[in-house]
Structure 1
Amino acid sequence: MPEKDTSVNVLKEPCLAVRKFLARPQREGVGAVVRRSIGRFELKYFDPFLVLDEFSVTAPAGFPDHPHRGFETVTYMLQGAFKHEDFEGHKGTIGAGDLQWMTAGRGIVHSEMPAAQGTQKGLQLWINLSSKHKMIEPRYQEISSKDIAEAAKDGVKVRVIAGEALGTKSPIFTRTPTMYLDFTLKPGANLRQLIPTSWNAFVYVLEGEGIFGNAKSLPTSAHHLLLLGKGDSLEACNKSSKPLRFILVGGEPLGEPLVQFGPFVMNTQEEIDQTIDDFENCVNGFEKARHWRSEAAVSLDF
């Protein structure tokens, strides 16, 4: 009798949606509006994901000077542009389709503010770092829209932000193993995307309406998050008359203790207490916070 093939590429069972949330608008930052699906009361943590916000911001609203420690932020612009500044002197603007993958590590203070007229829209995902990476030096990976890997086949288009899809790989380096895929399905199109069986994964619908999991599932529309159960792939189809756009995000769970205090994410309460002390006294990674204010904060008198 032949041995059973246990390789990761053998299709077993597709993932089914086990929970569904509508991300309702709430206020964050200074006058900004976000639809938060992860990091809310019903879903405080989905290892390794801390927060998923779909943001909508019109100047002068935004996210003036604020700190982070212990995780990464991934900002993906859908419309308009955002300007980023930090106390290390890094400045940059990302526009529609652009991406910034920021590793806060041991500490960063930065601002994120609108850089264009009208309403700026995008997604921000917070990804936890393992204990061995929480205190590394901050760094950035910024990729313009034209440099994000893309592929298309049989009515399915994908932008490969992290991971691999339709035979195309992303150049992004992820300390916490992560896949981040932006799919658009034409009417009538179907998709089956592999997901490592040990990972946690979710779908967030940006536009249109789709069927996820199996043909008997009810349609899911924009601003909904679907948590996927165990399986080795996502099945999706677009039975509507309009395009369906959604992100598929998956990550390897860290399985470590988590203690969070706002923008600080560590493993123990003692580490959180130390982080608060470090920030308040501008030490141990926050030295430059003592005399730094962003241009945006100065202009807002924040």
Structure 2
Amino acid sequence: MSESHFITPRLVLKKVLAKSLQQGNGAVLRVIPGEWESLDPFVTLFHFSVTAPEGFPDHPHRGFESVTYILQGALRYQDFAGHKSTVTTGDWVTAGRGIVHSEMPAEEGTHTGIQLWINLPSKLKMMEPRYKEVKRKEIPIVKKEGVEMRVLAGKAGAVESPYYSQTPVMMLDVTMKPTSEMHHTIPHCNCFVYVIEGEGVFGSVDCAPIEEHHVAVLGDGEGVSVWNKSKEKELRYLVIGGDAVKESVTVGATFVMNTQTQIQDTLEDFRHFKNGFELAKFWKSHY
């Protein structure tokens, strides 16, 4: 798959292996560690795997947006604003000034997916929360020469996703057949790839391959070039890019604010059910 040839491909600046951990409620996560200074507006990325009855029970957020993309299975989503859905493809949650929600397996078996946290600029951190479910049939798909690209957010050439965040981002789910290659123009933004399965060569054909469960931080350039040199295995990865917010970031618990004082204020608001968390006082999910 290729567009007009670009002169300066984005090269890999850094390769980071995701860190495995066991969450207290049994959810196994692969968490990209604190390598995000050069990847503003992104805060973190989770590659999760949960098996019922474990999952992500009631918890609060403030100050960022989350994108959950289901790879296998389904999650049952509920929040204190009354949104309920069985998510089979994904969803966008703008926490804004406050939201409490749960994300639990919809049925037996193992459920896997990706969740990306996107920072909100300070002027939007106290906006009203929003929820939007991603419908599989609405995701544009581009196919060409052994490459399938799902446009989850942003644009791929002339193809544009109907889903967007307050902080503009691009998110592509790319599957490449054995021995295929892709050359794709990427707009000017901070950009990285996360390899879900297989291994691929990014940037230049003679570079070292990036294996599954690794993040490859990409440098500046006009586009990304990728080769699947395997003769047997498919390569699947996400290409994620976004416009920098250019503000300080402080993460505390499940909140993303600008300062530690704001984190403490958020904890106080949640504890006393005020300033966006009023509905949390009498709400509890059912799963």
Against the structure 1 CA distance between its residues 65 and 276, is the aligned structure 2 distance closer, same or farther, given a 3 Å change threshold?
A: same
Against the structure 1 CA distance between its residues 41 and 249, is the aligned structure 2 distance closer, same or farther, given a 3 Å change threshold?
A: closer
Segments of 5+ residues of structure 2 without an aligned counterpart are none
Against the structure 1 CA distance between its residues 232 and 45, is the aligned structure 2 distance closer, same or farther, given a 3 Å change threshold?
A: closer
Larger deviation: 70-79 or 265-274?
A: 265-274
In structure 1, C-alpha distance between the alignment counterparts of 2:42 and 2:57, rounded to whole Å: 23
Structure 1 segment 1-302 matched on structure 2, within 5 A:
11-28=6-23, 30-37=25-32, 40-41=33-34, 43=36, 46-95=39-88, 98-197=89-188, 199-241=189-231, 242-296=233-287
1:126 shift after superposition: 0.4
1:41 shift after superposition: 4.4
In structure 2, C-alpha distance between the alignment counterparts of 1:45 and 1:93, rounded to whole Å: 35
The residue aligned with 1:3 is none
In structure 2, C-alpha distance between the alignment counterparts of 1:149 and 1:107, rounded to whole Å: 31
1:67 shift after superposition: 0.3
After superposition, the C-alpha distances for 1:114-154 in whole angstroms (9 at most, x for unaligned) are 11211000000000001111111111121221221111111
In structure 1, C-alpha distance between the alignment counterparts of 2:38 and 2:132, rounded to whole Å: 24
After superposition, the C-alpha distances for 1:215-255 in whole angstroms (9 at most, x for unaligned) are 11111221111011111211101111221111000001111
Structure-2-length-normalised TM-score: 0.94
Amino acid at match of 2:86: T
| Structure 2 contact 11–220 (Cα < 8 Å) conserved | yes
Amino acid at match of 1:70: G
SS in 1 for 2:204: coil
In structure 1, C-alpha distance between the alignment counterparts of 2:254 and 2:96, rounded to whole Å: 12
In structure 2, C-alpha distance between the alignment counterparts of 1:215 and 1:108, rounded to whole Å: 45
SS in 2 for 1:132: helix
Equivalenced residue count is 283
In structure 2, C-alpha distance between the alignment counterparts of 1:73 and 1:239, rounded to whole Å: 33
Against the structure 1 CA distance between its residues 157 and 10, is the aligned structure 2 distance closer, same or farther, given a 3 Å change threshold?
A: closer
Identity score, percent: 50
In structure 2, C-alpha distance between the alignment counterparts of 1:191 and 1:41, rounded to whole Å: 29
SS in 2 for 1:13: coil
1:45 shift after superposition: 7.5
In structure 1, C-alpha distance between the alignment counterparts of 2:240 and 2:254, rounded to whole Å: 21
SS in 2 for 1:295: coil
The two structures, once aligned, show a CA RMSD in angstroms of 1.6
In structure 1, C-alpha distance between the alignment counterparts of 2:38 and 2:54, rounded to whole Å: 27
Against the structure 1 CA distance between its residues 212 and 36, is the aligned structure 2 distance closer, same or farther, given a 3 Å change threshold?
A: same
Structure-1-length-normalised TM-score: 0.90
Segments of 5+ residues of structure 1 without an aligned counterpart are 1-8, 297-302
Amino acid at match of 1:293: K
1:270 shift after superposition: 2.6
SS in 2 for 1:92: strand
Amino acid at match of 2:25: V
Amino acid at match of 1:59: A
SS in 2 for 1:265: strand
Against the structure 1 CA distance between its residues 213 and 126, is the aligned structure 2 distance closer, same or farther, given a 3 Å change threshold?
A: same
